[in-house]
Amino acid sequence: MNSYYDGQIAFALISALILASLAGLIIAHRYNKKILSFMQLGESPKDDAEQVSLDPEQQHSFSNPIPFSLCKQNKKAIWRYRAVIILIGLILSFFIALFNLESATPDESLTLRKTSQLLLAYAWPIIPSIGLLERWSSLKIIVLSLAYTMFVVILIVLLNLGQAITLIGIMTWLFGE
């Protein structure tokens, strides 16, 4: 009976992958056509346009500063976007933790302690997501991701001092998946 459900899940995932790929291709094609049509609507720039002086005193007289309220709105929007990325990452890691706990130990009851430890362990993709949002360098993303992983490993070891959990066992479990 278990293999029947595994086949259904595999079929659903493969079907979703194919449908999402087709939808992505259709959307990209339509977007490309629309952008090209918009690009053809505009006029080409005139060659006899006045040359703009690069002198800072003259440039200051005609520059339009960005209103302060717009900068404030952008900063608030970026903070909301960060919060959404973190919330989505935590929700996904929570469900992954629940799934792994249920599949690994179906006889044991789910506890808040185990679930929260796994939630922290599976929340590492939040760091690269924020790094991509903030346009960090690849090295910084890698270093911060490894630092977060080390923090979680040490935290799990400290929270489970009375149990037979070793640092090597946790590292093998984290990096073995």
The full set of domain ranges for the chain reads 69-177
Give the C-alpha separation, 54 to 59, whole Å. Answer: 6
Scanning 108-137, the segments in alpha helix (DSSP H) are 112-122, 126-134
Give the C-alpha separation, 125 to 138, whole Å. Answer: 14
**C-alpha torsion 120→171→162→107, nearest 10:** 70
Nearest to 90 by CA among 139, 147, 130, 137: 130
Give the C-alpha separation, 26 to 47, whole Å. Answer: 38
Mean pLDDT in the chain?
A: 80
Query: pLDDT at residue 174 above 70?
Result: no
pLDDT at 45: 58
pLDDT tens per residue across span 2-44: 566 677 888 888 999 999 999 999 999 999 999 888 888 766 6
pLDDT at 110: 79
Map tokens 């291709």 to a residue.
25
User: Residues 98-116: what's their mean pLDDT?
Assistant: 82
pLDDT tens per residue across span 50-76: 555 555 555 555 455 555 566 777 888
